[in-house]
Chain A
């Protein structure tokens, strides 16, 4: 269980808080959807949970070592001039993996993301979908127990999206807790059992997806989302 209590965060030189007194729980083994308009604080929250940012106020408690956490950022967080294999070799080695163990993990990651046949291709020559899958494959090298996926399906075709969503389900089915941030409501509806909705650094909703839809009398997540965040433009 990842428990967040009264968490606040402010970026240097910023006038406002990126997160304000946020409290929520993410059950072990869940597939947790994180929703919110642009600038709502999703990425900040994920960065804090993944240990990239330091907690300033409040607490964030879980029992896992840093080595069992994994972050898949929104950006293509790898080296375009290296091949997929070289990228995986590199990111595995900086986490202390080597030899046969690293080879096994790379094969696993390539299989999970359907990239075995492209292992020797340079990342810069891959399609958008392959790059997204490589981004995820790198995040799987440490066999994470808590995986943070920050908008992992942006800008890819339906086939790649479908494959990625199936892969995430499979990863979660193996016991990995997944925190999934996205703007695509249908993805969250398909994947997640629990969700949280953030806006302007505050938690607006948290709970089981079915329970929240029923309690608010909404049939679709998008209706529920717009009812709490409203329809005004944010940027």
Chain B
């Protein structure tokens, strides 16, 4: 017990005096959480706006063309930029340079269809940086504006023709009704008992927290290799310190560091992000599930680090291997790119990343109000991964001691 306590104290002192490790484990993820939460804030706001703007070139002076323009301008998701007095080519150039995302050209003769002639199609110019989802959203908005304008024109015409013959009540029924009231949106996410859409901080904190927790592999594996290279491990062996004690002396303090990371990153999400103008992280209503996930991720990451530490020969190898493998596992696990935007085949592969298990578990707690039962499968997978990695590390350490 005294030896274990000494190993724990030594590890804590070494870590507290290693500024590089502290920066890597606390400052880097804190910065990620702040930057990503604030950068993606609009994307996740409950009543958020889509940041897209457009120019309109209205060459047709018909009522239909003006009606389409008005209806598009009334859409709160898109901002109409004034392009009056600017040539069509210049406006297209602006869209090409990302000053706006779209340019809509309603040509002369667009309303000809209303007169039974061949209509001139309107043109939708799309900027090079516009993502497919936004492109489809704007196209839908334009279609909706056009359909409404055409329908209003048709109904007005119909009312005019029926006017002398129909009753007033019947004509009133030919008015277009606002259909918004017929769609009730229900967010299947609750915060403090009220249904809401999750904020960006709610999405980002779990992802970057899992990433940071796995980055503990860098300081852990490099210190282990340095101890081996510097001879202190040899000295401990000569003093009869058992391998399990050496591993335990690393496992426990670094799990402790991981748990401090959890508390720190949640605190940044809860108090830090709102301080910089972002939304507040809701901590969920399942502290036991959160604690279980934190422990499971921590056990997996520290065991993985110990395995790498016992596989490599130099601290340079340890740094490169852990850094690169963490980045790959993070990319695969949906930390950097959400899994739902990946192709199905990639989504299937990503299920094999321990970071994906960690992220899923945390999302159960932070987004889906899941309890212990919900996170149990992910926690189980992480504990199995950790046990496997630790077992291999013990085997490798045993072999090294025999060499």
Contact = CB atoms under 8 A, between A and B. Distances in A.
Interface of A: 11-12, 50-54, 66-67, 69-71, 73-82, 86, 89-91, 93-96, 98, 138, 142
B87 interface: no
B177 interface: no
A231 to B, nearest CB: 31
Interface string B100-126: 000000000000000000000000000
5 contacts: A66-B240, A67-B240, A73-B231, A78-B235, A138-B235
A56 to B, nearest CB: 10
Nearest to B239: A95
Interface stretch (B5-13, B211-219, B298-306, B324-332): B5-13
Contacts of A138: 235
Contacts of B10: 79, 82, 86, 90
A139 to B, nearest CB: 8
B291 interface: no
Given A52-B234, A77-B235, A93-B6, 4 more contacts: A51-B238, A73-B235, A86-B10, A90-B10
Given A93-B3, A96-B2, A96-B3, A73 B234 contact: yes
Contact of B13 (A12, A50, A51, A82): A82
A79 B14 contact: yes
A86 B13 contact: yes
A91 B9 CA distance: 12
B234 A75 contact: yes
Counting from the closest, the 5 A-B pairs by CB-CB distance are A75-B231, A93-B6, A77-B231, A71-B238, A77-B235
Q: Which of B7, B14, B238 counts the most A-chain CB atoms under 10 A from its CB?
A: B238
Interface in B235-290: 235-241
A142 to B, nearest CB: 8
Given A81-B17, A93-B3, A93-B5, A50 B231 contact: no
Nearest to B14: A81
Nearest to B249: A94
A206 B305 CA distance: 47
Contacts of A95: 3, 239-240
**Interface residues of chain B: helix, strand, loop or mixed (majority):** helix
B238 A74 contact: no
B14 A94 contact: no
A95 B2 CA distance: 9
Contacts, number: 76
Measured as residues with beta carbon below 8 angstroms from the partner, the interface class of chain B is 20 to 34
Nearest to A13: B403
Contacts of B232: 77-79
A193 to B, nearest CB: 25
Given A66-B240, A90-B6, A96-B2, A77 B234 contact: yes
Contact of A94 (B6, B229, B230, B403): B6
Given A82-B13, A90-B6, A96-B3, A75 B230 contact: yes
B3 A94 contact: yes
A81 B234 contact: no
Contacts of A11: 403
B246 to A, nearest CB: 10
Contact of A52 (B3, B13, B238): B238
A94 B7 CA distance: 7
A94 B236 contact: yes
Contacts of B231: 73-77
A82 B14 contact: yes
Q: Which of A54, A66, A73, A89 counts the most B-chain CB atoms under 10 A from its CB?
A: A73
B402 interface: yes
A77 B6 contact: no
B61 interface: no
Contacts of B238: 50-52, 69-71, 73
A71 B237 CA distance: 10
Given A82-B10, A90-B9, A95-B239, A54 B402 contact: yes
Contacts of A50: 238
Contacts of A96: 2-3
Contacts of A89: 6
Nearest to B241: A94
Q: Which of A51, A77, A96 counts the most B-chain CB atoms under 10 A from its CB?
A: A77
Nearest to B232: A77
B144 interface: no
Given A54-B402, A138-B235, A81 B13 contact: yes
A63 B253 CA distance: 38
B70 interface: no
A138 B234 CA distance: 13
Interface string B323-345: 00000000000000000000000
B18 interface: yes
Contacts of A94: 2-3, 6-7, 236, 239, 241
A96 B230 CA distance: 23
